[in-house]
Amino acid sequence: MRIGYARTSTVEQRYGLEEQLDALQTDGCEKVYSEQLSGTKADDRPELQRCLDQLRDGDELVITKLDRLGRSVLDLCGIIDTLDERGVTLRALDGSVNTASAAGRLTIHLFAAVAEFENAIRRERQAVGIARAKAEGKYDKRADAKRARHRAQVVAMTADGKGSQSSANELGISRSTVMRIRREEKAA
């Protein structure tokens, strides 16, 4: 079975959802899953999860472009591993990947190697950053707990129409902490 998946981050995005849906239907997809979500991981995309649950051995997942399936190499590799385990091939209409071919499988293995490399570099940078912050007396791994303590108050103040700076002043926290809480709440 040929199944399509389409995603846009926003309604206004240039390569819109309608164009993707048209391309997938023209390609002969029997069923197409679509959603409009920004910057979320595969686990946080309900239509992608439904699509992955539907796929069986011998099926083909078709996308218009590889970045519609995932933004990070690590996330893409996780999805592709899931497809491989189920015997599902992946094909992008723009020609960037087709796991039915040897060259396509090589491309995927290169992605996996890059993802592993990126992950190792991120961990190294994180360790260096933490060591520097500790040396400067700025490291506080309890920051999340501090934000959690103020979360309900920030949400209430936002609902009341209070600005970021006045909320921060009233709670005795930084404006950036207020903005981070608001972003986290909006994404939740």
Q: What is the pLDDT of residues 34-71, one digit of tens each?
A: 998 876 678 788 999 999 999 999 999 999 988 888 87
Which one is catalytic: 9, 34, 101, 174?
9
Known catalytic membership, residue 9: yes
The band of 118, judged by pLDDT with boundaries at 50, 70 and 90, is confident
Per-residue DSSP letter, 142: T
Range 2-111: architecture per CATH: 3-Layer(aba) Sandwich (3.40)
State pTM to two decimals.
0.61
Cα dist. 88→53, 60, 81 in Å?
12, 6, 10
pLDDT digits (tens, 9 = 90+) for 78-117: 898 899 999 999 999 998 789 999 888 888 788 778 877 8
| Contact partners, residue 100, CB within 8 Å, separation at least 6 | 60, 89, 91
| Contact partners, residue 5, CB within 8 Å, separation at least 6 | 24, 32, 33, 34, 47, 48, 51, 61, 62, 63, 68, 69
Query: In this model, does residue 188 exceed pLDDT 80?
Result: no
Pairwise pLDDT comparison (172 vs 26), residue with the higher score: 26
